[in-house]
């Protein structure tokens, strides 16, 4: 049996899962090197055909495709040729790539996302070097952590890459609006990773730290798209390391309206002021904002978390992030493009031997409660006037989660990794998928609200309530 045949069968089965759950939209990423293995030139017909098959299958089952154009995979040829997003040369290659996608798929795809989480691509790729291309200042030490990179500059390269990504995004929006919008009638925007920040203490300094944290996260990307320049706090604190937009570039950024902003929300942190010192020299760009981020105030977390998980559950942060975007950016339409929680599967073989991998995880109570509480917050935000257009769970399937590999399970559908010789990787819907199916079918009239931490300025536990459907 050929691998391509297996992939095609799995594609159909996975899209059927989407339809069976009752989801009306599906977000996926297109791989640049899968379309153009050399970054440009002759497209790979097999790769082009794969996405046609996926899109056609989604539409056939009544599911709207949402396509992400770039999810961190720079063609190696362009990385080797000129350093990828460290060079402005990539803007022209990105323009050619997006133009091909719009022409090839735009009659069927009506929602386009230019970049997924540029801030995380920058942090992991050029700040601490944990992901490709693995750049950081050689022998970088941050607290107890040591990072080994052959090359990089953790206080300069991140801003260069972010600048070039913003200009590439603006060029993509311009191309779509001027060349394809009239005929295709779609939308285009960008997706950010967002962490909500609460002041560590109820004092002016920590409240200012909260504002700076939001500036250096969401403002870094969205302010240039809406106002033509970076936040003033970034200009003041980063100084000459922060690139300058020319007048023409500022006009490019703002002249073609983004149709929406996508946000990926998982968790929240406290922001604590760090004293300003004129002699301070940052080791990594994340220190430029002069705030520290903490999961705990004293011994009490901002929200509960599974053992070893970075996700402290704080649903109220989603509403606050949405309200912040509404107030700062003229209530631009927003899609929650990712929201979900992981569960770590440690010592997998011991769990298999105990017979619980395919039983307890499939009940999926923790994830179900997470989704219930966050969907309720989205409903609250909509009632408060936030222009929310859609909500996507991350993720449909358990997947290979970057440096966590297969140990971090985000899916509402379980993947059986226990038999590596089984090419089917058997899919089994978890309890969260069953709940979501009933929710979308309007078969759940009320649902107990999970008891979670609802913080600020003091920490208290939320009272049980109901989700109104």
If phi > 0 it is left, if psi is from -120 to 50 it is alpha, else beta; for residue 290 that is: left
Give the predicted TM-score (pTM) of the model: 0.92
Residues 6 or more apart whose Cβ sits within 8 Å of residue 80: none
Catalytic residue among 117, 171, 249, 377, which?
117
Residue 211 predicted with pLDDT over 70: yes
Specify whether the CB–CB gap between 224 and 173 falls below 8 A. no
CA within 13 Å, CB half, 136: 25
Q: Which of 28-42, 255-269, 297-311, 348-362 has the lowest mean pLDDT?
A: 348-362
Q: What is the rounded average pLDDT of the residues 41-66?
A: 98
Question: So where are the chain's domains?
Answer: 3-441
Per the annotation, the verdict on 248 as an active-site residue is: no
> What pLDDT is recorded for position 463?
30
Q: Which of 243-247, 389-393, 463-467 has the lowest mean pLDDT?
A: 463-467
Q: Which of 216-230, 266-280, 443-457 has the lowest mean pLDDT?
A: 443-457
Residue 52 predicted with pLDDT over 90: yes
Q: What is the pLDDT of residues 292-314, one digit of tens each?
A: 999 999 999 999 998 778 999 99
Catalytic residue among 157, 198, 249, 338, which?
338
Nearest 5°: the CA angle 335, 339, 343 is 170
Q: What is the pLDDT of residues 92-145, one digit of tens each?
A: 999 999 999 999 999 999 999 999 999 999 999 999 999 999 999 999 999 889
Average pLDDT, the chain: 91
* Bridging pattern class, strands 343-344 and 300-301: unpaired
Residue 452 predicted with pLDDT over 70: no
What's the CATH fold of domain 3-441?
Answer: TIM Barrel (3.20.20)
Q: What is the pLDDT of residues 248-266, one digit of tens each?
A: 999 999 999 999 999 999 9
Per the annotation, the verdict on 338 as an active-site residue is: yes
User: Residue 403, class by beta-carbon neighbours within 10 Å (0-12 exposed, 13-18 middle, 19+ buried)?
Assistant: exposed
Q: What is the pLDDT of residues 378-424, one digit of tens each?
A: 999 999 999 999 999 999 999 888 887 878 889 999 988 776 666 67
């Amino acid at each position: 049996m050929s691998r391509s045949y297996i992939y095609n069968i799995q594609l159909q089965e996975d899209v059927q899962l989407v339809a069976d759950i009752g989801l009306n939209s599906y977000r996926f990423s297109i791989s640049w090197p899968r379309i153009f293995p050399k970054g440009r030139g002759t497209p790979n017909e097999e790769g082009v055909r794969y996405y046609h098959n996926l899109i056609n299958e989604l539409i056939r089952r009544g599911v709207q495709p949402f396509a992400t154009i770039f999810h961190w995979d720079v063609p190696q040829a362009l990385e080797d040729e000129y350093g990828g997003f460290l060079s402005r040369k990539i803007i022209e290659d990105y323009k050619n790539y997006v133009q091909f996608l719009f022409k090839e798929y735009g009659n069927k795809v009506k929602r386009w996302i230019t970049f997924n989480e540029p801030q995380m691509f920058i942090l992991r790729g050029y700040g601490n070097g944990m992901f490709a291309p693995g750049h950081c200042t050689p022998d970088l030490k941050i607290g107890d952590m040591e990072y080994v990179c052959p090359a990089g500059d953790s206080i300069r390269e991140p801003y260069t890459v972010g600048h070039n990504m913003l200009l590439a995004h603006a060029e993509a929006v311009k191309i779509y609006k001027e060349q394809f919008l009239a005929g295709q009638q779609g939308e285009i925007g960008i997706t950010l990773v967002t962490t909500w920040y609460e002041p560590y203490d109820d004092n002016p300094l920590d409240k200012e730290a909260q504002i700076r944290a939001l500036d250096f996260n969401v403002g870094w990307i969205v302010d240039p798209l809406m106002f033509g320049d970076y936040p003033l706090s970034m200009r003041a604190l980063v100084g000459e390391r922060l690139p300058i937009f020319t007048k023409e570039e500022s006009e490019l950024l703002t002249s073609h309206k983004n149709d929406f902003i996508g946000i990926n929300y998982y968790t929240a942190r406290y922001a604590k002021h760090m004293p300003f010192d004129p002699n301070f020299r940052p080791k990594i760009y994340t220190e430029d904002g002069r705030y520290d981020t903490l999961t705990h105030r004293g011994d009490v977390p901002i929200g509960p978390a599974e053992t070893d998980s970075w996700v402290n559950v704080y649903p109220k942060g989603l509403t606050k992030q949405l309200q912040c975007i509404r107030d700062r950016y003229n209530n631009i339409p927003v899609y929650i493009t990712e929201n979900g929680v992981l569960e770590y599967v440690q010592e997998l073989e011991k769990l298999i031997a105990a017979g619980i991998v395919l039983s307890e995880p499939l009940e999926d109570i923790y994830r179900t409660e997470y989704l219930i509480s966050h969907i309720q917050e989205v409903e609250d935000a909509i009632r408060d006037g936030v222009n929310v257009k859609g909500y996507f769970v991350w993720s449909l399937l358990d997947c290979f989660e970057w440096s966590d590999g297969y140990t971090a399970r985000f899916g509402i559908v379980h993947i059986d990794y226990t038999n590596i010789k089984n090419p089917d990787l058997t899919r089994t819907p978890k309890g969260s998928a069953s709940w979501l199916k009933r929710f979308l079918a309007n078969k759940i009239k009320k649902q107990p609200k999970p008891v979670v931490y609802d913080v600020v300025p003091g920490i208290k536990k939320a009272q049980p309530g109901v989700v109104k459907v």
